[in-house]
Amino acid sequence: METCTTAVQLRTLVKQWKKQGFTVGFVPTMGYLHEGHLSLVQRSKEICDRTVVSIFVNPTQFGPNEDLDRYPRDFARDCQLLVQSEVDVVFHPDAGEMYPPGFSTFVEPGTAAQGLCGRSRPGHFRGVCTVVAKLLNLVTPDYAFFGQKDAQQVAVIRAMVRDLQMDVRIVSCPIVREEDGLAKSSRNVYLDDSQRQAALVLPGALASAQRMIAGGQTDANAIRQQILGELQGEKLAEVDYVEIVDGTNMQEVSKVHEGDLVAVAVRFGTTRLIDNFTVTK
């Protein structure tokens, strides 16, 4: 596995691959990798001849009171996992490489970024779109892989790629969960034992909603209230949002249909976790 730290290094390597006719897959991450990230890598390797993984904790998607400084980092461990997964290149730029002095151009996201995490984290998706646009421009992949746990992010990036006519296919991969159902997240390491146990209310509440829908319930507010009630029953849970939205544009719905997204965000102490499922019938 090769390591690139500059745009010039990365572009030179990818151009060589393209000349040889190789297809390129790209997995953007902020590091501290877990099985969820590695499932994206595996999917890329199934589809593409070469796979690039980026590790960059993007400062522009963090708010002033968020966890940029304490976001978990372990580049050596990440590299071990990527070598074991037979990744071809890891791109590991520093902030100065991605945002050099005088940087002032940002990508403004559209409608899909307005609610959910966009409402509670102002500016977050502006930072996400900007860094993803830059990375896609550098890697020029045929496919880029994202986890469904960040379903709104996937919708925002799909819209950006469509609107800006970027020549890349966005692939969304299923949520990977712990044995007890909690969605894999780099932020899970922040949880103490009691918070980790309390966090199981997330998959539990979503499972209740899935049963309601399977039983024929289509009223979005009734489903939302069921989820909210279960979350509020956990004393360590501070609910950020419970929303049911159109799976494409992230706008609220009153009646649930196939393809809609049921999404939650909850804080346990200072740790904010998200989870969701897409409605299937």
* Active centre residues (catalytic): 37
Non-local CB neighbours of 249 within 8 Å, separated by 6+ positions: 111, 112, 155
Residues 184/35, Cβ–Cβ less than 8 Å? yes
- State how far the Cα of 9 lies from the Cα of 67, in Å rounded to an integer: 30
Beta bridge partners of 53: 27, 90
| Tokens linked to 235 | 């004393």
Taking CA atoms, 128 is separated from 86, 159, 253, 255, 266, in Å, by 27, 13, 25, 30, 21
- Pairwise CA distance, residues 278 & 281, whole Å: 10
Distance CA 30, CA 73 (A): 8
Locate 267 and state its tokens. 């804080």
CA distance 195 to 237: 8
How far from the centroid of its chain's Cα atoms is residue 79's Cα? 20
Locus of tokens 């996937």: 154
